[in-house]
Amino acid sequence: MRTLKEKLYQKIEEFRPRTERLLNEYGDIVIDKVTISQAIGGMRGVKSLVTDISYLDPNEGIRYRGYTLEEVFKLLPKPKDAEMPYVEGLFYLLLTGDIPTEEEVADVVDEFSKRRILPRYLYEIIDAQPCCSHPMTIFSTAILTMHRESFFTKKYYAVFNKKDYWDPMYEDVLNLLAKLPEIATYIYAKLYRDGKRIQSNPNLDFGGNFAFMMGKPKPYDDVARLHFILHSDHESGNVSAHTGHLVASSLSDIYLSISAMVNGLAGPLHGLAAQGVLQWLHELIERLGGEEAEPSEDEVRQYVWETLNAGFLIPGFGHAVLRKTDPRYSLQRNFSLKHLKDDPVFRYVDILYRIVPPILQEQGKAKNPWPNVDAQSGVIQWHYGVREYDFYTVLFSIGRALGISANIIWDRALGYPLERPKSLTTDMLEEIAGIKKKPLKEPDHKKKEKSGE
Ligand SMILES: CC(C)(COP(=O)(O)OP(=O)(O)OC[C@H]1O[C@@H](n2cnc3c(N)ncnc32)[C@H](O)[C@@H]1OP(=O)(O)O)[C@@H](O)C(=O)NCCC(=O)NCCS
């Protein structure tokens, strides 16, 4: 059996000629055009990134290495008596494109376990954070602080062949990923459990050990596996993936890159939406008489409209690329229908699933009225007793780090260069639009002032 690193090396050697041929022989072929609204509007839909690790089809949802999520959950090996697959197996798939055997997964489980121990100074850094800090801030700081551990950075200054950059990056990635559950659960204990920490169990897999350190019995190990796998990758244009890739493109190491990725994920339009959903849900539940009340669809409908009419978003609905219900939502919904059917908070989530899309359609603004991953992930955590919802984006980050790290190793392997798009000025856009010398229409308030209204 070849180790993950040996297998990856073989895959890289086989793949490189494809990228080289595209660059050398077909580099001038046009793949897209850019409009003014795309340049101003967050580059929506501009095809300008490359990744082979996942692809997001607007009408189908995400595929990892060509596999739908249903296939991923069916095909990846599972720990004994578990409903969900090994997270380590998912990482193997993301990195190599192959479904690993039981033996190959066991090797990765072992690698992660060996690398999980945190440097002592990290506890001090986390302990030194003020108690009211958001866990995402502490998580990002802890990862950033480990920059000093980077093999890649040390080797870079010793001068080595560009083609070998992926190798120390791989070592850094494994070292970092193995530590993320330890860092997260230590932060959880500090912020919400008076510092009472549960030491890790080296005999458990990534998801099982995370549940153990959170102090949660079965089936929370499966909840953790499900969560990390579902959140791992969503192609390269979303804020966290793009940030990780962008920062790494300057040959920053994995600690700098993943810390930056975490910061991108911490925004309310991105990963923080998981926290926003639960906050909003609880306001709704309180308003309708608490968890014991029997909410009617009409009452919930009225609350949704009030939220929209007040100018707020409905968290957990909509997506910049997807144009259907997020399959990550559907998988979590299926899990909830099996395990949380009578949970009072899930009852509300279930009502929202039915009533929000038609309301957003009627309002006519959101291009995608359907629920996304965040509309369902928090309620599962809540059900299993993780009720500190500002922690939910840390869970998202652990999952997302798997996909972004796999991408960054491949960025190094294929020699992807520094990312540097070009910017224009508003003057230049007006020039391109042919309106440079045309006066702007007077704003309404100016007209009113002149007419003395
Ligand atoms: C995900 C999201 C950021 C995508 O943004 P986007 O690509 O700009 O979305 P759209 O193109 O559909 O937005 C068009 C309009 O619909 C609105 N809209 C989109 N989703 C909405 C929602 N869930 N509730 C209310 N309005 C919404 C936008 O605010 C925008 O309004 P504007 O024209 O007044 O600025 C957006 O849907 C959103 O904010 N959703 C809620 C937060 C969330 O769940 N984030 C997690 C995503 S995985």
359-374 per-position pLDDT tens digit: 999 999 999 999 999 9
What's the pLDDT at 363? 97
Residue 374 bears catalytic tag: yes
CA distance 131 to 62: 37
What's the pLDDT at 253? 98
Q: pLDDT grade, residue 449 (50/70/90)?
A: low
Query: What distance in angstroms lies between residue 242's CA and the mean position of ligand 1's atoms?
Result: 19
Retrieve residue 22's tokens: 């595209």
Question: If you average pLDDT over residues 158-185, what whole number do you get?
Answer: 95
What's the pLDDT at 439? 83
Residue 317 Cβ inside 6 Å of ligand 1? The answer reads: yes
Residues 6+ apart with CB under 8 A from 19: 414, 415
Residues 6+ apart with CB under 8 A from 136: 262, 263, 265, 266, 272, 390, 393, 394, 397
> Is a pLDDT exceeding 70 seen at residue 450?
no
What's the pLDDT at 453? 53
What's the pLDDT at 446? 67
Residue 270 bears catalytic tag: yes
Q: pLDDT grade, residue 20 (50/70/90)?
A: very high
What's the pLDDT at 274? 87
Cα angle: 375, vertex 376, 380; to 5 degrees: 145
Average pLDDT, the chain: 95
Question: If you average pLDDT over residues 43-72, what whole number do you get?
Answer: 97
Residues 6+ apart with CB under 8 A from 230: 69, 328, 331, 332, 373, 377, 399
> Is a pLDDT exceeding 90 seen at residue 213?
yes
Percent helix, strand, coil in the chain, to 5, is 60, 5, 35
Q: How far apart are the first and last CA of the chain?
A: 82
Retrieve residue 307's tokens: 């939220």
Residue 62 Cβ inside 6 Å of ligand 1? The answer reads: no
Question: If you average pLDDT over residues 208-222, what whole number do you get?
Answer: 97
What's the pLDDT at 291? 87
What's the pLDDT at 295? 85
pLDDT tens per residue across span 103-134: 999 999 999 999 999 999 999 999 999 988 99
57 SS3 class? strand
Torsion angle, CA of 220/113/261/236, rounded to 10 degrees? Answer: -90
Radius of gyration of the chain (CA): 24
Q: Which of 227, 234, 245, 270 is catalytic?
A: 270
pLDDT tens per residue across span 324-372: 999 999 999 999 999 999 999 999 999 999 999 999 999 999 999 999 9
Q: Which of 319, 343, 350, 383 is catalytic?
A: 319
Pocket-testing residue among 232, 313, 393, ligand 1, by greatest number of atoms within 8 A of Cβ? 313
Query: What distance in angstroms lies between residue 313's CA and the mean position of ligand 1's atoms?
Result: 7
Residues paired with 371 in a beta bridge = 317
pLDDT tens per residue across span 281-322: 999 999 999 888 888 999 999 999 999 999 999 999 999 999
